[in-house]
Amino acid sequence: AGNKTLTIIKPFAVKNGKLGAILHKIEESGYRFAAIKTLKLEKHEAEEFYAEHQGKPFFDDLTDFMSSGPITAAILTKENAVEDFRYLIGATDPSEAQEGTIRKMFATSKTRNAIHGSDSDESADRECDFFFSRRERLKTDI
Ligand code: CMP
């Protein structure tokens, strides 16, 4: 399995001063930052990022929310990063997320769920390329 994943700390968490706490939890869990930046997506950029969800009932709310304020995107490295990170963030619905997961601690709803993690190595490649150029990566091989 690949050794990198793409995460986004979502607008609500950034706005509410939880960015540092979430980044700390990620580092403490063994991930290393290979790239990181804070930016604001345009609505059409959020639609492009989440293109696979086009047509689903939550697509408009999701892309409105993701373009509503600053987000922090990062490339994380660790062995088995994609699968382990999905476990660390917890279920999409915070009411179903396990104790100790990032969504249990910081999410407030399925849309306002604090954090994103790539769902496969193929998604991780695509999502890392969406946010980061080669020059922006602190390791040249990821
Ligand atoms: P994320 O991991 O960023 O990837 C897709 C997002 O769609 C997901 O987090 C949720 O915020 C959102 N999502 C997925 N399923 C639902 C749902 N049933 N209702 C509302 N939002 C959803």
Domain assignment present for residue 104? The answer is: yes
- Protein residue with least CA distance to atom 3, ligand 1: 116
Reported as a single tens digit per residue, the pLDDT across 13-69 is 888 999 999 999 999 999 999 999 999 999 999 999 999 999 999 999 999 999 999
CATH number at residue 125: 3.30.70.141
Residue 21 belongs to domain spanning:
4-133
Domain assignment present for residue 105? The answer is: yes
Domain assignment present for residue 10? The answer is: yes
Q: What distances in angstroms separate CA 73 from CA 96, 99, 131, one per listed residue?
A: 24, 24, 7
Residue 109 — very low, low, confident or very high, per pLDDT cuts 50/70/90?
Answer: very high
Check pocket membership of 3 for ligand 1, CB cut-off 6 A: no
Structure tokens at 93: 């619905």
Q: Which atom of ligand 1 is nearest to the CA of 10?
A: 3
Task: Judge whether 44 counts as a catalytic residue.
Answer: no
Tokens 């607008």 label which residue?
11
Domain assignment present for residue 141? The answer is: no
Structural domains of the chain, count? 1
Q: Give the alpha-carbon dihedral of 30, 32, 36, 41, to 10 degrees.
A: -40
Check pocket membership of 87 for ligand 1, CB cut-off 6 A: no
Residue 138 — very low, low, confident or very high, per pLDDT cuts 50/70/90?
Answer: confident
Which of 78, 68, 90, 57 lies closest to 124 in space, CA to CA? Answer: 78
- Protein residue with least CA distance to atom 1, ligand 1: 116
Domain assignment present for residue 138? The answer is: no
- Predicted TM-score (pTM) of the model is 0.96
